[in-house]
Structure 1
């Protein structure tokens, strides 16, 4: 055989004649043919397997495991409705399940069905609950990705069985309300690349404690580690050395972990050479800027805000040549800033707010040619705005509020052609703002210049702005009519100024998308535009308090569609992305907030401003009756009509304001009975009806019984109820005298009649006794004469002394 093989090889390699008897059969050709036949059979078998998989779907064993999992947990809103036991049902088509095409094995279980980012506000009510890491998951032997975030473990601990899911590469249990101690069994997941254990968004979530991070040493392939909002205080002394054992780590998120220590220098090699994201915000390091951070040359995002970092920034910070996002706000940093900041050529976001940066704006910042956002809020800056600021032509957001900036606004600010948000409020700027400053800012959306008392506007009223503002706060300026050309405004805050005259009628006609209109604490007079409710459907906050408005509340106020709805209304089809729900819910990219009178005090809203629905017309000179149409506003949360001259009764329709939390009708001339509907407002937590002419019984509904402060009703002498230590009589005992007179109930009438009768009987009893008892009569009149004589003598003596000096 060996000879035959050699011959065949020779026949293959050497040019023997084809008719040579030893070369009649050439073995390599036969081998090739055999291999082709085997390959054909193999491909046919593979095609058959794939056909069977495509026809049969997922593996029956894993399908049963998923059904067992569904039976073991609670799904109150049937989010897993596609998981059915029907014969032949393919589990690979079920919600959240992804399989391998070839084998039918479950590869991904994506069960974060109620992600609140862009989803429902009360998402936790719809989440899966119970034993979410059930043993049935162990039957999914090829599972590589498991996402159970935004569900509800109901405070139970992550079970040790999680360490048995050996094939996992992605595990997300963030915001799922697990509690207790992080199990070290996570260290058995040696193939894991992404581990997310955040605990940020779940309301009133259970406490999660990390006693040790030694298990991290088993996760040598880990790329992403997110443990923000877990309690790492027990490992403050060695957390960094544990993390440093992850050579593949690129993203580290340990915000708000109660870590109290960060090493200033290292006595061991730094292994985190691939790290691009380092977020350690809201910890209490109380130290200077760590030296080793400047060695992380791959770092693109660094967040150390609110960490009590003190001292000056080292010049080595210029070594972070790859960084694009730098947030060192809310610390104890002091100036001056190093000039090496100018080396951070890729930096797009810089926030150094709430530090003590010195007297001047750092000039090194003025050379950051890629900068998009600059936030230097409340940095104790005492200087003019430098003209070099105009070099930052890529700037999109500029926030310099709450400093002591002085002088004129430089005309070079007009070079910031990409500027979207500008906030220079609460400074000492002076001079004029002209069209020259603003004419090139075509992308401007937020303009906040309030609380600069020497800053005035010098813009022609006929000037048409080239931008479409969504938020404006001007401060102590006259209201320019050119603003009516900004027809996409969403927020107008012109409160606490000296505006006077009538509220312009063009507001309702020009600002149709307006959400918030605050004109409080000015000197506006006259009537409220009767068409306002027909024109501004989207208004959710109206604040006209502390003016001198007169007339009545327009009936059109019942047409505000956003206040009628109890839902969060969709945003207009342009801009204002910041009002949408995001990781950090806020109304603007800056620090814009609005102060409202609610719940009996002034509260400042910023992060949840888009949820607030309020009408405040207090402290004006409004008259007539409260319109019934206000009862249509089922979504309204605060209604303050106090300190006006409203008369008549409280409308019965008030019972339809189902979302009302605060109602203040105090210091008016309201009369009549308190409507029964008021007791049905289950959300009501603050009520003030004091100092009116209300009468009758206080309704005995369940909600009003929880408001047990008697001052709610003070100044209404004809009101009765248990709270006022008077009986809560049935409604049918009430007697209405007149719509223009006090309403007097039968108990009041009985008391008055009883008092009059008692006085009459007592007085005549004395007269009768004196009439028939001569001895008593003589004694009585003698005593009267004696008292008269004493008083006369005393007065006479006093008078003579005064006359005689």
Structure 2
């Protein structure tokens, strides 16, 4: 045996030697670094450019600093994000996506340029600080995949990238479509541009193998190049927000391998869906949202058998949804919102069992919402708001077990809500607001286990609010603008997750317990305005540290405002406690709210003085309304930069005393400044002239004196100047001189002591709508030169020293838009201006359709309420709100003579006509019977003769008639309307007889005496009626919204409108809760 072993020993030793030789070789090979040294150095050099920043990759679900493993002396092929060729050792793959990189890549000295064998490069989701794409990337001729998306690159895409002929995937996008139905999210943006279609064409013309192309938000700003149709291998194409224009090539829908087509947010891109699709088309996603695509959805849409996602929202599509769309059996998401679709959605649509999300909102769909949702087990998102759907709330929605989002708001749904719903256990958002739902609120909306947002606002719901389940997850509740009554349920104050509570504009009543809000630690928005809540403001509100907005206005809250805990509120920005019965001084603790933006304490009983040094701490304040209180003044002398952000300041209707200069000096940002209806004295400071943003200046109803600063005429933005009811004297400044004053829309200088002539520069006020210079001492002739103002609607020159004849108009459209003209109480002579009657075209339109009525408002500032004082029937009327249908002509108390022209009958829309106290002769023209809207007719104290035309009995809206002190004769016409006039309407006409006079017709006539001319110094009210009313109404026929003013009704309306306007202007929420989504166009 031994001998046999010895013979074999050499052979065994040889085999062992060979074995160990191979083992040693393999061992040395494994110890050798695979990474090439120059590429290793290049990568380490690249690493030195960056810091690690979590925000740089904030959109990544999984992110980490891959470069942490990049250490000198180690094999780069073993580093995170690096892939090497196993044979050559070259780096062929670099994936640094979501690597927290923040820094700058220098495009002409980039160390990555040494990685010439790269096949895949992914730098997505980092922050390269507006770096340019290195042109050397175009030298990576082996590159197959290139992804530079969401990395904050900028500048032009280097044309060298077109050399990458092997590219299969190119992504340099910076937007993405989220998988949920909430639509679009803007994220980290690149700022690429290609400038033109030719640039895009040069970039892609070599990409014959390209399958994936994503250029979202690359600025192409041109048409889609036809060469794109040559990319036959393309299966993914996304050109989101590229500025694409003009018509899209129809062949783009027929690319043989295209599965994903997204052209969203290219509003200048025009096209139609093709009438034909290949049955074999692989299209799975089509998004044309926010483009200018138009036309109808073709029946051929059913040929897209693979279609899963169709978004045509916010485009210009129209017509009906084709029945064939229901044949797309794989359809999962359908967005047709914000178009011009109409009719009833086809029943086949609701039979697509794969639908998970559908939006038909912002169209004109009608009919009932189908009640056959039983088969839609996967539907999670249903949005149908802003249509004309009718009927009741569909009961079958109860079957949608997976439903999470339901919005049926702004439709015409009616009837009560179902009493019970059991199947909506996953519902998080329910919006059925702004319909016509009635009845009480059932318990189920308040007890859904997953519900976070509940909107029931703008319906006709009644009854009380049910108690809520204490385990509710509700974060937002809105049931505003209903008819709910009773107290606020105590269970609401146990909703620990509640963020927003809106119960405004109901009939809720009762006292809110002082500790009610103590548990609502996350509450940010409280809206309880326009109810009947009473008692003091709950002190627990002031312990809510997250509170942002508080609106308790228009209730019956009383007591002192106790804000002892307000120093804790670092976020509180909006406070409205207006229209209550709060009293006492303004609490000093409110001035610790350094973030306060808007404060409205108007229409209360607040008193005392305001400490300016405290107000000066509110550096962010831009809206302050303290009007309609009993504040008496300010402490300390105001400085010029006290409120650097203030835009709106309203102190009107207080008891402010002292000089105007003692009030806060408006900042440069001021737009609206009102201290009207106080007891201020002194002169108007020229400081108002330097406010470049000042649009509204109201100093009316004070005791100001001196001249109007001439510099006010230099403002090019001033829109409203109201200085009425003061003691101002001197001449009127040259308003609208040359290019200045181009914005002036209303000028009211009435009830002052102004002298001189009307400034001819007023003829340049092209936007002037209201001019009131009444009750001054102006000496001039009739301003025919104002006749060309294209927007002038109200002209009041009453009670001045104007003289001469009116003359004839220079054109057929003189004062064409005029609705009210009052030149009474002057010394005009000659005949009545019959030719002007023919040119007042606005008074000839007879429109009694109330749907066309609107208040006289400034074109761009629709909140401002005009106040115009007129005399009618001897009574002073203050028209606080004027409808466009209210037409008045008052030429009374002058020296006009001659006959009443027949052309007066052309003013068919006239509501009030006053020719009294002149020297008119002749008969009353029968043409007055054509003024079918006439409510007041005053021809008293003239020398009119003849009979009262019986045709006047047809004026069925006539409420006030005065024909007294003329030379009329004959019988008084009888009609239902005429029989209501008292005998004072006919006094001083001895020749008249019949009802209501005691003189029957047929008796001997008494020789008529000349009618007395009324002395203009006499008191009109004492001669006609002994009324002490300031304001009277002359009916609804012309829609004049005036009446006997009681309390603060008129000003309350005015202030609410002003506040509402400026809150919008200052960026306040339209719905006030950011969670609510409305149209996207």
Shared fold per TM-score greater than 0.5: yes
CA offset at residue 516 of structure 1? 1.0
Q: Which residue of 2 aligns with 1:519?
A: 797
> Is residue 2:847 matched to residue 1:564?
no
1 or 2 for the larger relative contact order (CA 8 Å, sep ≥6)? Answer: 1
Q: 2:476 aligns with which of 184, 193, 196?
A: 193
Q: Which residue of 1 aligns with 2:300?
A: none
Q: Which residue of 2 aligns with 1:544?
A: 823
Q: Which residue of 2 aligns with 1:405?
A: 680
Distance 1:609 1:404 in 2: 31
- 3-state SS of paired residue (2:790): coil
Distance 2:658 2:590 in 1: 25
Q: Which residue of 1 aligns with 2:700?
A: 425
Is the alpha carbon distance of 1:370 and 1:712 closer, same or farther for their aligned partners in structure 2, counting shifts above 3 Å?
A: same
- 3-state SS of paired residue (2:599): strand
Is the alpha carbon distance of 1:243 and 1:530 closer, same or farther for their aligned partners in structure 2, counting shifts above 3 Å?
A: farther
Distance 1:365 1:262 in 2: 36
- 3-state SS of paired residue (1:650): coil
Distance 2:413 2:986 in 1: 48
Distance 1:292 1:134 in 2: 42
Q: CA deviation digits over 1:405-463, x for unaligned, max 9? A: 3444333333212211222333344444454x336533112222334425434857996
Q: Which residue of 2 aligns with 1:349?
A: 623
CA offset at residue 723 of structure 1? 4.2
- 3-state SS of paired residue (1:536): coil
CA offset at residue 82 of structure 1? 5.3
Report matched runs for 1:212-361 at 5 Å.
212-214=488-490, 216-217=492-493, 223-233=499-509, 235-238=510-513, 241-242=515-516, 246-263=520-537, 265-266=539-540, 270-271=543-544, 273-281=546-554, 283-293=556-566, 295-330=568-603, 331-337=605-611, 339-354=613-628, 355-358=630-633
- 3-state SS of paired residue (2:589): helix
CA offset at residue 497 of structure 1? 0.8
Unaligned 5+ runs, structure 2: 1-29, 31-259, 261-281, 286-303, 312-320, 328-339, 351-358, 391-409, 1006-1081
Report matched runs for 1:331-730 at 5 Å.
331-337=605-611, 339-354=613-628, 355-358=630-633, 363=638, 366-386=641-661, 392-435=667-710, 437-438=711-712, 441-457=715-731, 464=738, 466-468=740-742, 469-474=744-749, 475-477=752-754, 478=756, 479-509=758-788, 511-531=789-809, 534-555=813-834, 556-565=836-845, 566=847, 576-578=859-861, 580=862, 585-587=863-865, 592-598=866-872, 601-608=875-882, 612-705=886-979, 707-724=980-997
Q: CA deviation digits over 1:71-97, x for unaligned, max 9? A: xxxxxxxxx995559876989486367
- 3-state SS of paired residue (1:232): strand
Q: Which residue of 1 aligns with 2:1020?
A: none
> Is residue 2:455 matched to residue 1:171?
yes
Report matched runs for 1:104-183 at 5 Å.
106-110=382-386, 131-133=414-416, 135=418, 146=431, 149=434, 157-158=439-440, 160=442, 163=445, 169-174=453-458, 178=460, 180-183=462-465
Is the alpha carbon distance of 1:82 and 1:460 closer, same or farther for their aligned partners in structure 2, counting shifts above 3 Å?
A: closer
Q: CA deviation digits over 1:741-781, x for unaligned, max 9? A: xxxxxx52xx449xxxxxxxxxxxxxxxxxxxxxxxxxxxx
Is the alpha carbon distance of 1:148 and 1:263 closer, same or farther for their aligned partners in structure 2, counting shifts above 3 Å?
A: closer
Is the alpha carbon distance of 1:260 and 1:269 closer, same or farther for their aligned partners in structure 2, counting shifts above 3 Å?
A: closer
Counterpart contact for 1:111–1:148, Cα < 8 Å: no
Distance 1:51 1:105 in 2: 14
- 3-state SS of paired residue (1:306): coil
Counterpart contact for 2:914–2:937, Cα < 8 Å: yes
Distance 2:512 2:428 in 1: 36
Counterpart contact for 1:342–1:365, Cα < 8 Å: no
Is the alpha carbon distance of 1:642 and 1:290 closer, same or farther for their aligned partners in structure 2, counting shifts above 3 Å?
A: farther
Q: Which residue of 2 aligns with 1:209?
A: 485
Is the alpha carbon distance of 1:598 and 1:293 closer, same or farther for their aligned partners in structure 2, counting shifts above 3 Å?
A: farther
- Bigger helix share: 1
Q: CA deviation digits over 1:123-157, x for unaligned, max 9? A: xxxx99994436599799779554553x767xx64
- Comparing 489-498 with 625-634, greater Cα deviation is found at 625-634
CA offset at residue 598 of structure 1? 4.6
TM-score for the superposition, normalised by structure 1: 0.67
- 3-state SS of paired residue (1:671): strand
Q: CA deviation digits over 1:667-713, x for unaligned, max 9? A: 333334444443333433333333333444444444445x2534333
CA offset at residue 470 of structure 1? 1.4
Counterpart contact for 2:430–2:454, Cα < 8 Å: yes
- 3-state SS of paired residue (1:595): strand
- Comparing 499-508 with 94-103, greater Cα deviation is found at 94-103
Distance 1:145 1:674 in 2: 67
Counterpart contact for 2:639–2:665, Cα < 8 Å: no
CA offset at residue 518 of structure 1? 0.9
Distance 2:496 2:760 in 1: 64
Is the alpha carbon distance of 1:379 and 1:463 closer, same or farther for their aligned partners in structure 2, counting shifts above 3 Å?
A: same
- Bigger strand share: 2
Q: CA deviation digits over 1:555-589, x for unaligned, max 9? A: 222432322232658999x96433x3xxxx543xx
Distance 1:655 1:137 in 2: 63
Counterpart contact for 2:934–2:957, Cα < 8 Å: yes
Counterpart contact for 1:644–1:667, Cα < 8 Å: yes
Q: CA deviation digits over 1:232-289, x for unaligned, max 9? A: 33x2243x655565555433333332322124744x9834623324242453413244
Is the alpha carbon distance of 1:58 and 1:554 closer, same or farther for their aligned partners in structure 2, counting shifts above 3 Å?
A: farther
- 3-state SS of paired residue (1:316): helix
CA offset at residue 542 of structure 1? 1.0
Is the alpha carbon distance of 1:227 and 1:694 closer, same or farther for their aligned partners in structure 2, counting shifts above 3 Å?
A: farther
User: What is the Cα-based RMSD across aligned positions, in Å?
Assistant: 4.7
Counterpart contact for 1:599–1:685, Cα < 8 Å: no
CA offset at residue 347 of structure 1? 0.9
CA offset at residue 48 of structure 1? 6.1
Report matched runs for 1:1-150 at 5 Å.
47=306, 84=344, 92=360, 95=364, 103=379, 106-110=382-386, 131-133=414-416, 135=418, 146=431, 149=434
Unaligned 5+ runs, structure 1: 1-14, 16-39, 60-79, 115-126, 200-206, 728-746, 754-805
Is the alpha carbon distance of 1:571 and 1:304 closer, same or farther for their aligned partners in structure 2, counting shifts above 3 Å?
A: closer
CA offset at residue 346 of structure 1? 1.1
